Structure 1
């Protein structure tokens, strides 16, 4: 078997595979001999079928199967030995023109080659948001805690200063959300007037446009997603289920112990410090995700390279489960091009910076996750044997291994960006972060 590669250009090549009779003949004869011993043909005893009859009945299909086996094995070995970085799979050029009655065969395959390029994570600065819990947020959180643990008193009707529990509904917009809301949270005078005086069991119609000062509150109170929340303009019915006033809880040791355990927090200042610490830890997860997304977008935009477009469109067309026209394949390539470019960029970053996840790292990561989860339930010091046993069960579950691998891969990439990308740190409040990051 002889295999040669001819470069068409930097991104396309043709591989020619020549298979001669000597390459496959012994394998074909071996298979046919086995068929002769095991085949059931009326009029002949098993094992005494004439070879001529076996060849006539099975020879062509065995030949095709054995040649294709050699072809696939040889092509795979060639690509590995030549260290060819190909996109998609080799596509046959002359598959329909093969004469299976001849002794020697020549196959041609188109290859789409991965482009050569450099990745510069310092090329363009990306904003790294440091989200802080400001005094206003801390005061509001303390107020929320005091309300949450305060005393409720039932009221006859909606009035200023009450809490209203009820359900927002709009079948067409897919809204069905039970919530508790303060009358003061509403913005429009018309909306407030419509609710004022309503009693338990009443259904009030409200307009969502301008219902709240901030459209993001539509997510919180109406249960719609982020995109739908902006500029939402529909009518919703609100069924009043409870009307209450709330006497705020005292800031005392009994409340602190109820929140955090005995004597963990002993003053309002310590309470605010604890709230600040917990909030900023949660903010970091959001700002990290924003940073990761922004660096990825920057790399795609600023890392320039060509792709073997025609090859990839053809590959998409031939590998599709359903028949696909040229136009459909082109449209699918355009939809997937951005993702493909980032796959190539990420693959290069991981290979050049040793960012692949090892089994030991994955096992270690699973132990840390287990330990953190156990701590939430009061098990602060589990034994190594206990951690290893749980980790072993997790590592035997393919779905869990896949999920943890994806998390760890993301964490390693994020850490690499934090240490190596060109970042400009910007300190903002949470409200400002939301407005800037998701505007």
Structure 2
């Protein structure tokens, strides 16, 4: 077996070989002998099947297994010559050439390795920034909003025309083409005017109406309305205003603080202000991190670090970008690409630079995570998915199972690791 090993760069290598048919036949004999000890063939006792019968029974399958064995030998010997360990490989080796003749097989196998990354002075890549400061007046405004949220609704004493911000307590019944429709009626329904909770135009037509008045409101259901029977249909609602309510007054004092700091025996307005200020600062810092600093930091890392990338990973990233682009294209555009290989290849190449940067960023984050000891275990991953699902009113287990079945969990985990790595670096800058 004539083997040539070539390390193309720090992330890619190719192993080529010429396998004689004598070597393949020797593997056929070896596999057939092993199979003769375990095969169940009618007319023969197990372990006593003649090799010739095994060859006759399994035929081409034996040849294919023998060729696969030869390829494994080529790969194993080639990796040894290159000094590459199996755990350094990324993905499955790719057979780029397999030319078979009567007396030999010419093969070439491409392998990809995890690149070695010298992260160097990462601190130099961290952009300068100032930690956001929250002013006392901003805290006061936020506290007022929270207090208003706790304020009870109270009926107005003097009957007047309703305005935005009022809560209308109404009876209503809806009709389409003169017929009442299912789910279109309610009694003493509290509707905050200006909230946008009802069909567009409904709340606007209540502006200027007084308590005890009855009005007819004409609206049109949106085309994308949840019910197909109602979507796009014009409707008339008979509405009676039973009451008009507004937010009452709430004292901003230590008693209010106890509501927002439950279980804290030392709860006070002063402490609530301090906690609120801290939370607002964290919110502003998170916004600064996510919208500005993290993208800048990652871009600087990608620009400053140089290393080789596994070719097949880049090609996979390009294919993914191409598939996403195809979803935006018409059938005629897709057909044109299928019939024009040069045009398709030209389109693929437009994604190469961005694909390389994306793959590079992934390896950088992975290297930094290992250096910094940053990891996200399965329990943390599940908790994060569950929390976000509950926040959006979805079934946590169903969301998790969907992500798992779709193969999204590794990407979500990597995203969490990236967020943690970049946040840690930025936090370090604050501490300094």
Class of the TM-score when normalised by the shorter of the 2 chains: 0.5 to 0.7
- Give the corresponding residue for 2:299: 297
Residue 341 of structure 1 aligns with which residue? Answer: 357
Taking the TM superposition and a 5 Å limit, the aligned residue runs for 1:37-56 are: 38-40=39-41, 44-46=43-45, 51-56=51-56
Q: What is the CA-CA distance between 1:279 and the residue it aligns to?
A: 1.9
* TM-score normalized with structure 2 length: 0.56
SS of the residue 1:284 aligns to: helix
Residue 260 of structure 1 is matched in structure 2 by 261
Q: How far is the alpha carbon of 1:107 from its aligned partner?
A: 1.0
Q: What corresponds to 1:31 in structure 2?
A: 31
Structure 1 partner of 2:224: none
Matches within 5 A, 1:32-431: 32-36=32-36, 38-40=39-41, 44-46=43-45, 51-72=51-72, 74-75=74-75, 78-79=78-79, 82-83=83-84, 90-95=93-98, 97-99=99-101, 101-102=102-103, 104-110=104-110, 121=122, 126=127, 128=129, 130-154=131-155, 157-159=161-163, 162-163=166-167, 196-198=207-209, 243-261=244-262, 263-267=265-269, 269-290=270-291, 291-300=293-302, 313=315, 326=341, 327-328=343-344, 331=347, 334-335=350-351, 337-348=353-364, 350-351=366-367, 354-355=370-371, 357=373, 407-408=416-417, 410-416=419-425, 418-419=427-428
Instruction: Quote the RMSD (CA, aligned, Å).
Output: 5.5
Shift of 1:49: 6.0
1:228 is matched with: none
Deviation at 1:286, TM superposition (A): 2.9
Report if aligned partners of 2:318, 2:352 keep a CA contact under 8 Å in 1: no
Q: How far apart are residue 138 of structure 1 and its match?
A: 1.5
Distance 1:313 1:352 in 2: 24
Q: How many pairs does the alignment contain? A: 338
Shift of 1:108: 1.6
Change (3 A) 1:20 1:418: farther
Q: Do the aligned residues in 1 keep the contact of 2:368 with 2:421 (CA within 8 Å)?
A: no
For structure 2, the residue ranges without an aligned partner over 5 or more in a row are: 171-188, 221-234, 324-336, 388-406
CA deviation digits over 1:49-77, x for unaligned, max 9? Answer: 66445324434321321331341364266
1:370-400 CA-to-partner distances (Å, cap 9, x unmatched) read: 9xx9xxxxxxxxxxxxxxxxxxxxxxxx999
The answer (yes or no) to whether the contact 2:314–2:355 under 8 Å persists in 1 is: no
What is the distance in 2 between the residues matched to 1:70 and 1:275? 68
> 2: CA distance between counterparts of 1:149 and 1:3?
78
Looking at structure 1, the residues matched to 9 and 50 of structure 2 have their Cα atoms a distance apart, in angstroms, of: 53
Q: For each residue in 1:390-425, what CA deviation from the matched residue of structure 2 results, as whole angstroms up to 9, or x when unmatched?
A: xxxxxxxx99999778635632343235547xx9x9
What TM-score results when the alignment is normalised by the length of structure 1?
0.55
Higher normalized contact order (CA 8 Å, seq sep 6+, divided by chain length): 1
- Deviation for aligned residue 1:16: 0.8
Shift of 1:355: 2.6
Return closer, same or farther for 1:116/1:274 CA change in 2, 3 Å cut-off.
closer
